[in-house]
């Protein structure tokens, strides 16, 4: 057991739980408070909330682990995809979906396309976000097992339930303000670790030379081009098609705040990416990948090699922050999908707001249990698992969502066909394993686009009221 690091992690978890307890009463006041923090989040807090929602275990442990094992080009593919994601979202959807005044992505689909599309979208959100929990829980289990000296399974269960408690109790209020703390911890921790690495090597040239000396193939293309391109577009669209990220726009004070939050989140992520670049190179120079049971643990090895115990404990808390800040957003998306989009909207419209938020709380714990069961024997390394989720969401939601915002002629039949066709194509391609890893959206997403356009044009246009709603998405009168 790493005593100092373990104590810091325990203190960190207790502090996060106390924040959840603090916001419990406010979160249970209404559905709006529980799922969107009363739509009152300002730019500063919102920027960190979006940053932490998109910065999962994959952005730190996964990106570094895959960069060390698959080469620097793979790391750059991941990083540049995510860096471009938030500016793309800022122009395509941030202000527009905030003007829609909804609480979740499926509710947007209901407003724009109707009941059937909302139900289909809610099912996909619940399935995809539950699976997205797996790489987060995998990373949490690896860190907990290493620091606490306990079995991986026990660590996964304990930490999974631990970060579910504050999210379930405090809803979006707790999640947003814990994200502020978590984002600051991971950002400062990454800067400090990168600084220690810089001092050790003195120049980037020395760093690269040392890495190439250890692994001459570090700078080579090691995967088929389709893997790189598929991974890039999956992450490029991630801030648009991930329900857990999009929900942060719904919580913003207004459309202008939503756009500004995305802009500042991009700048924060650039700093994180630069730190990750240093850490990836340092991971290669340690020359110990072959000695690790899980290559994603190389990030932890770099921390232990470069930082004294107190700083190492803080940086490990930063890693856990990356995990928790994304996992809590996923849990809330699952919760909203079941409690609000399915139960309240279609099963029991007369349900009280407190009963809906209570159901949302129960759903979170059910989702984490399913995620833990899968994470005990994870199906792949972290970056690849996250790539699967990103590709699936892009294939299902990417074009139906964006065309719903920008194209008045898109209708219910087209959106339903696009979501179902894209999701089914992606699932079939993954199961057949006929393409390189993460290449599936290259085929599945265009099929979704073709279906949305073709079916919409072959069927009746939306009502005038629905088309007027599209105009309201693009109104410049922020409210």
CATH number, residue 29: 1.20.1730.10
Gap between the Cα atoms of 195 and 62, Å rounded: 21
Gap between the Cα atoms of 30 and 226, Å rounded: 46
Q: What is the pLDDT of residues 238-264, one digit of tens each?
A: 778 877 677 777 777 887 887 888 888
pLDDT given at position 460 = 94
Give residue 256's domain range.
3-393
pLDDT given at position 166 = 67
Number of domains present in the structure of the chain? 1
Rg value, the chain, Cα: 21
pLDDT given at position 313 = 79
232 in a domain, yes or no?
Answer: yes
80 in a domain, yes or no?
Answer: yes
Q: In this structure, how many other beta carbons lie within 10 angstroms of the beta carbon of residue 303?
A: 24
Gap between the Cα atoms of 174 and 37, Å rounded: 9
209 in a domain, yes or no?
Answer: yes
pLDDT given at position 28 = 62
Residues of the chain below pLDDT 50? 477-479
- In 161-235, DSSP assigns E strands to none
402 in a domain, yes or no?
Answer: no
For residue 252, the 8-state DSSP code is B
Under 8 Å CB-to-CB from 261, ≥6 apart: which residues? 41, 43, 46, 47, 49, 50, 94, 248, 249, 252
Under 8 Å CB-to-CB from 121, ≥6 apart: which residues? 105, 106, 109, 341, 397, 419
pLDDT given at position 298 = 84
430 in a domain, yes or no?
Answer: no
11 in a domain, yes or no?
Answer: yes
13 in a domain, yes or no?
Answer: yes
384 in a domain, yes or no?
Answer: yes
């Amino acid at each position: 057991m790493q005593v100092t690091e373990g104590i810091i992690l325990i203190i960190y978890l207790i502090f996060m739980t106390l924040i959840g307890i603090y916001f419990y009463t406010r979160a249970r006041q209404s559905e709006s408070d529980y799922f969107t923090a009363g739509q009152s989040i300002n730019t500063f807090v919102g920027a960190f909330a979006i940053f932490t929602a998109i910065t999962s275990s994959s952005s730190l442990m996964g990106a570094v682990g895959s960069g060390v094992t698959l080469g620097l080009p793979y790391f750059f593919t991941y990083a540049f995809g995510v860096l471009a994601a938030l500016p793309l979202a800022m122009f395509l959807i941030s202000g527009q979906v905030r003007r829609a005044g909804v609480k979740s992505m499926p509710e947007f689909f209901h407003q724009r396309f109707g009941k059937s599309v909302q139900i289909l979208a809610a099912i996909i959100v619940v399935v995809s976000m539950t699976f997205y929990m797996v790489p987060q829980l995998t990373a949490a289990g690896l860190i907990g097992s290493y620091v606490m000296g306990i079995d991986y399974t026990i660590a996964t269960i304990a930490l999974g339930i631990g970060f579910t408690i504050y999210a379930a109790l405090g809803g979006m209020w707790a999640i947003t303000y814990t994200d502020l703390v978590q984002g600051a911890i991971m950002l400062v921790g990454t800067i400090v670790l990168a600084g220690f690495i810089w001092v050790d090597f003195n120049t980037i040239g020395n760093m690269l030379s040392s890495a190439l000396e250890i692994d001459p193939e570090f700078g080579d293309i090691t995967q088929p081009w389709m893997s790189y391109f598929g991974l890039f577009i999956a992450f490029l669209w991630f801030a648009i098609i991930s329900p857990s990220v999009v929900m942060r726009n719904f919580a913003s004070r207004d459309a202008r705040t939503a756009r500004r939050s995305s802009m500042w989140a991009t700048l924060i992520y650039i700093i994180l990416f630069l730190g990750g670049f240093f850490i990836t190179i340092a991971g290669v120079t340690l020359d110990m990948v072959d000695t690790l049971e899980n290559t994603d643990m190389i990030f932890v090895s770099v921390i232990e090699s470069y930082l004294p115990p107190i700083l190492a404990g803080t940086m490990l808390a930063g890693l856990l922050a990356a995990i928790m800040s994304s996992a809590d957003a996923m849990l809330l998306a699952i919760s909203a999908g079941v409690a609000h989009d399915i139960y309240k909207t279609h099963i029991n419209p007369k349900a009280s707001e407190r009963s809906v938020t209570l159901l949302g709380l129960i759903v979170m714990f059910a989702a984490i249990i399913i995620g833990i069961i899968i994470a005990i024997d994870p199906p792949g390394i972290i970056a690849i698992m996250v790539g699967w989720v990103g590709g699936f969401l892009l294939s299902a939601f990417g074009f139906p969502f964006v065309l719903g915002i920008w194209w008045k002629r898109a209708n219910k039949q087209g959106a339903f066909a696009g979501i179902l066709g894209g999701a089914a194509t992606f699932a079939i391609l993954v199961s057949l394993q006929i393409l390189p890893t993460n290449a599936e959206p290259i085929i599945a997403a265009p099929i979704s686009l073709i279906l949305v356009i073709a079916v919409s044009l072959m069927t009746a246009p939306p009502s005038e009221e629905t088309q007027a709603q599209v105009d309201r998405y693009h109104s410049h009168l922020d409210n």
